[in-house]
Amino acid sequence: MPAPSVVPHHSALPLVVTWTADGRAVRILDQRALPEHEAYLDIAELRDACDAIRTLAVRGAPAIGVFAAMVLATIAEQGRGDAYAQRDQIRAAAAQLRATRPTAVNLAWAIDRTLAVLLRVDAHDVLGTTQALRAEADAIRAEDAAMCRAIGEHGASLLGAGTSVLTHCNAGALATAGIGTALAPMYVAHERGVRVHVFANETRPLRQGARLTAWELARAGVSATVLPDGAAAGLLASGRVALVLVGADRIAVNGDTANKVGTYGVALAARAHGVPFYVAAPASTFDGVTPHGAGIPIEERDARELAPLPQGVAVWNPAFDITPASLITGFITDRGILHSPFADGANGVRPPPPRLGV
Ligand code: MRU
């Protein structure tokens, strides 16, 4: 997709990943401080960039991919002087960034796309390499924003006045370079004067739903209710939710979907109570290589995120879980809505095309 020069953004929503004014660093909204503080970090060092991803200062599958591409462009700029040293630094930085979080395929996708630029540029052209990486990072960022907008336009067709939607974690503007994925349809509907309501699961243990989703929905004027994760099944049983809409960190070839831990339970409850369950994701989230969910690596996080705990207690703290394709009503992508059953070849989301239903 060619990079659009101007991508309309929602004026009330933050841009979470931008360049600093001098272009020498990447500015991120530090999501660890939300909702209390709206603080920004300027990142120019690789170590700080890796820390920012690991500690979720910047988070959400598309946003960390965009951020990594911009960091690599920054590293290229710093490496100017010796062509071989520059390329070594870019490749070493790419390896470290890739290792920060394993589940979101968008991170590896953006890094691979950036490294592919090196194959197209004259290996002795230091300035050309720097400019090409910068242009690629800008393209990745603009394309992400455009894909979010397209997801919003397609997804808004599912929403009518008064529709109530349940979401899990944060798949909004804070997780992307645009208006989000799972929240984008609500923003587009709201822009069109269609008033919807969002139930936002709190999202244990780091509370992305309560801290982040509720924050950005409030900024945009979309009405929202936060509930503890454990209340989601009861809410679905009550008939107060028309559909579930979540994001994704990776979608396997057969449609099995990795998303924030707890998503699978929501999908099971939605199926039990006959509530449609949609996954919203851009092309960069579709993994055309991993055949099914069992092949998706699941990040395990530090036990301290569940603190306080009795001393010596064992902890299992997976950051994500897998929702089987059989529980998913449809995928809202930037290219349209794919409805179940996911027939082989019915999507063509991105090359290599995922073969949903295999
Ligand atoms: O651990 P996080 O906060 O990065 O997890 C984020 C999610 O699970 C999102 O739903 C997913 O990345 C999609 S964001 C558009």
Q: For residue 64, report the distance from its CA to the centre of ligand 1, in Å.
A: 10
Distance CA 6, CA 310 (A): 53
pLDDT at 80 (0 to 100): 63
**22 a catalytic residue:** no
Q: Is 261 in the pocket of ligand 1 (CB under 6 A)?
A: no
Q: Is 301 in the pocket of ligand 1 (CB under 6 A)?
A: no
Site to substitute for ligand 1 among 169, 203, 246, 331, most atoms within 8 A of C-beta: 169
Q: For residue 224, report the distance from its CA to the centre of ligand 1, in Å.
A: 19
Q: Is 208 in the pocket of ligand 1 (CB under 6 A)?
A: yes
Distance CA 83, CA 196 (A): 54
Q: Is 61 in the pocket of ligand 1 (CB under 6 A)?
A: yes
pLDDT at 301 (0 to 100): 98
pLDDT at 79 (0 to 100): 81
Q: For residue 257, report the distance from its CA to the centre of ligand 1, in Å.
A: 12
Site to substitute for ligand 1 among 181, 229, 260, most atoms within 8 A of C-beta: 260
Q: Which of 249, 256, 287, 321 is catalytic?
A: 249
Q: For residue 255, report the distance from its CA to the centre of ligand 1, in Å.
A: 17
pLDDT at 356 (0 to 100): 43
pLDDT at 193 (0 to 100): 97
Q: Is 175 in the pocket of ligand 1 (CB under 6 A)?
A: yes
Output the residue whose Cα is nearest ligand 1's atom 8. Answer: 260
Q: Is 59 in the pocket of ligand 1 (CB under 6 A)?
A: yes
Q: Is 259 in the pocket of ligand 1 (CB under 6 A)?
A: yes
Q: Is 212 in the pocket of ligand 1 (CB under 6 A)?
A: no
pLDDT at 6 (0 to 100): 55
Mean pLDDT for each consecutive 10-residue tract of the chain (358 residues)? 56 92 97 97 98 98 98 92 91 98 98 97 94 98 97 98 98 98 98 98 98 98 98 98 98 96 98 98 96 97 97 97 97 94 49 38
Output the residue whose Cα is nearest ligand 1's atom 6. Answer: 60
pLDDT at 302 (0 to 100): 98
Q: Say if residues 345 and 356 touch (Cβ distance below 8 Å).
A: no
Q: Is 319 in the pocket of ligand 1 (CB under 6 A)?
A: yes
pLDDT at 1 (0 to 100): 43
Distance CA 31, CA 16 (A): 9
pLDDT at 343 (0 to 100): 58
Q: Locate 190 and state its tokens.
A: 């709201």
Output the residue whose Cα is nearest ligand 1's atom 10. Answer: 247
